[in-house]
Amino acid sequence: MRYVLMILALMAGSALAQQVPQSAAQMQLSFVPLVKEATPAVVNIYAKIMSAPRRTPLQSDPFFERFFRDPFSERPRVQNSLGSGVILSEDGIVVSNYHVVGMATEIRVVLNDRREYSAQVLLGDAEADLAILKIDADTPLPFLELRDSETVEVGELALAIGNPFGVGQTVSSGIVSGLARSGAGGGNSGLGYFIQTDAPINPGNSGGALIDMQGRLVGINTSILTRSGGSNGIGFAIPADLVAAFVAQARAGEVTFARPWAGISGQPVDSDMAGPLGLDRPVGIIVSGLHPASPFLDAGLEVGDIITHVGGATVHTPNEMIYRMSVAGLGRSTAVRFRRDGVDKDVDVGLIAAPDDPPREETVLGARSILPELRIARVNPAIISELNLPLEAAGVVVLDAGRFGPRVGLRKGDLILAVNAVEVSHPSDLEALFGGEVRRFEIVIQRGDRRSLLRFRV
């Protein structure tokens, strides 16, 4: 009877039975044909990075630097970076991680057949941890096709290909174990939207390929979450859809990735908030703030609305929303669904870059100023986006504290609100306040969501 039940179960699950080896011949099946097809498009990358010399605070002081001058420590140091990359076109477009090649002065790309090429970075973005390279070859190069990230499902088989520990190209297998992992990568978490895999990933795999069983690129391996430091952890890959957006901007001549600007602040809806908001389960992002120039405000959204879908996909975190907008691309619009007073509404939101308006009026204080070399600018949406300032930020921001700014407590990103009880609205205000005969100063600054008072005399 037991065997009869087993046969019936196999017949009922014929689709599954076709995937299970049924003979010794079928057990000989392997990934060999797939690996032979895909590995020529995965490259090893060797990069040299010139790092600035280390300087102690005393070396930066005009009085003490002569006593602490060390000719050896002042020399730039050469660091070698090792990683992987993937060829995406026959004319030599290559994608890798920013942390592998982003600051490199010399990049060498080695193909699977041992051909070597020098490469240059066309476009890089530290936040997304992606970089697009270009190599010039005499013949067409092997490349991988990108797979639509929306079609990837949990449970699919996947192969990770890269150059772990510099031992040479290596292939490891696993499955896609999770989707839409937000902020899970640690370190350079990028846009906070990852494909999760249990395929072993080690140092040097960064920038390598995660492929499906048709040899298409599913994602770019970027990090691993592990307690031991080895490969026995959870790996994360940047989805191919975002890679495609980077390639499009690189081919258009951009050198930095321009992502759409939302101009909103909000927080994920959790289980404690869902009931009072009339939701049967936690979903979406509740809007807590809207910049006057926000395209969401222009589309009709208000504080208190709950954004549930962007581009037809459910969103649970701000990172997911920005990812969806980035994949859609600048200059377009995307469908947004939000809930207000228990009613779902659909609108189209224009995807724009953060406006550089009003003019930032970037200024460097002169030698006669109290704080010479201090670089400041007027806050606008572009500055807010670049420096990750609070949405309601206004006034004057520090772009570079210069040589003397750190001594009085100023840092890059500080908002200067007032000097000696005089409100500061424009860089010209600060030039006048720091250029007079006053020798005692009280500066009100905002750092993040915290205000502080700096007192000093000169």
Number of neighbours of residue 163 by Cβ within 10 angstroms = 26
Please say if the pLDDT value at position 451 is more than 50.
Answer: yes
Architecture field, domain 363-457? Roll (2.30)
Closest CA to 194 of 211, 176, 170: 176
Residue ranges, CATH 2.40.10.10, the chain: 149-251
> Could you confirm whether 129 is annotated as catalytic?
yes
Confidence of residue 187 (pLDDT cuts 50, 70, 90): very low
> Could you confirm whether 206 is annotated as catalytic?
yes
Please say if the pLDDT value at position 9 is more than 50.
Answer: no
Considering 81, 84, 96, 99, which one is annotated as catalytic? 99
Number of neighbours of residue 145 by Cβ within 10 angstroms = 12
pLDDT digits (tens, 9 = 90+) for 78-90: 566 688 999 999 9
Burial class (CB in 10 A: 0-12, 13-18, 19+), 256: exposed
Closest CA to 94 of 250, 327, 241, 296: 250
pLDDT digits (tens, 9 = 90+) for 69-78: 555 455 555 5
Residue 334: beta bridge partners? 349
Chosen CATH of 149-251 out of 2.100.10.30, 3.30.1360.200, 2.40.10.10, 1.20.1730.10: 2.40.10.10
Alpha carbon distance, N-terminus to C-terminus of the chain:
95
Closest CA to 448 of 384, 357, 382, 375: 384
Considering 96, 149, 172, 206, which one is annotated as catalytic? 206
Average the pLDDT over each of 117-126, 178-187, 194-203, 272-281 and give the range with the smallest value: 178-187
The predicted structure's pLDDT at residue 394? 92
The predicted structure's pLDDT at residue 3? 43
Distance CA 286, CA 305 (A): 6
Residue ranges, CATH 2.30.42.10, the chain: 264-350, 363-457
Give CATH superfamily name and number for 264-350.
PDZ domain (2.30.42.10)
> Could you confirm whether 99 is annotated as catalytic?
yes
Report the pLDDT averaged over residues 350-361: 94
Quick check: 131 and 96 in contact, CB under 8 A? yes
The predicted structure's pLDDT at residue 105? 85
Distance CA 337, CA 311 (A): 9
